[in-house]
Structure 1
Amino acid sequence: MSPVIDQTVQAGLITAEAQVLDVPAVLRYRRDDPLAIRICFPPRASLAGSHVTWVFARDLLAAGLESPTGEGDVHVRPFGADVTVMEFHAAVGTAMVRIKTADLRRFLQRSYLVVPAGSEHLQLDLDGDLAALLREA
């Protein structure tokens, strides 16, 4: 199994005019960062016209499929049986996207094949990360 999982999903960016702009997004999970998920959006989905990547906890995504969750910059909640809404809060505003829940569940299941839930700590190299941090200081 590859240490990196990329999965393209169709995201519906909800505009200020309450319209939905379909944009591709890429979900990414890496074994060397076992607690995090990344979602990457293309330039046309951002106000600045550049690629945007959000990083948040894998557990947050899993919990948000079942009930509203999140504090701070990322919130996730079910919207009916088939759709999940994700909110991304930044200084310039809030972006809301909707993604098929089945696509998110499939991505999570694939990530659990790489690093099973509850075993993330076994993938962390705290000593190595601390040494690298101290070398940079």
Structure 2
Amino acid sequence: MGRKSRTEVNGIIFGWLEAGLRSTLVIRDPQLPEPVTPGRIYLYHGRRGAIVEFEAARVLERVRWVEPDTLQDLDATLTDFEAARAALLADQRARELRVRLASSSQSAARRKPDAEPLSAPLDEEQTLDPESSDEGFADDEDWGADT
């Protein structure tokens, strides 16, 4: 049986992102889905209290992985992390659902038959009354206007 890293608790890896005055605790959860953009990584950002997408090459060189037992308020940190993780996963599920719905509605629109013509079908058309025809109408007829 392989020995687990001392920086790991239940597969979650703790680190300290060294960024001067903005340094913060970060958590890497390998069970989180990969971001859509290649070369990106999700890390829990302790100061923001949220899971943030980072450029992997830039951020991982600045992270110093630490042992969880050296962290203050580990339980509170894990609770905050779990809430942020649940929010991220819910957001991703909602986004995937929107994409699926949009995709299915687009394919349904493509399969939809052509729109019906604007005119009524022939069997519903009304016949013209010959008495109401304007055959005898002349352009120079008096319309009752004073000239």
More strand by share: 1
Choose between structure 1 and 2 for higher RCO, CA contacts under 8 A separated by at least 6 residues.
1
TM-score w.r.t. the length of structure 1 is: 0.29
User: What's the TM-score once normalised by structure 2's chain length?
Assistant: 0.28
- Rg (Cα) greater in structure: 2
Tell me which protein shows more helix as a share of its residues: 2
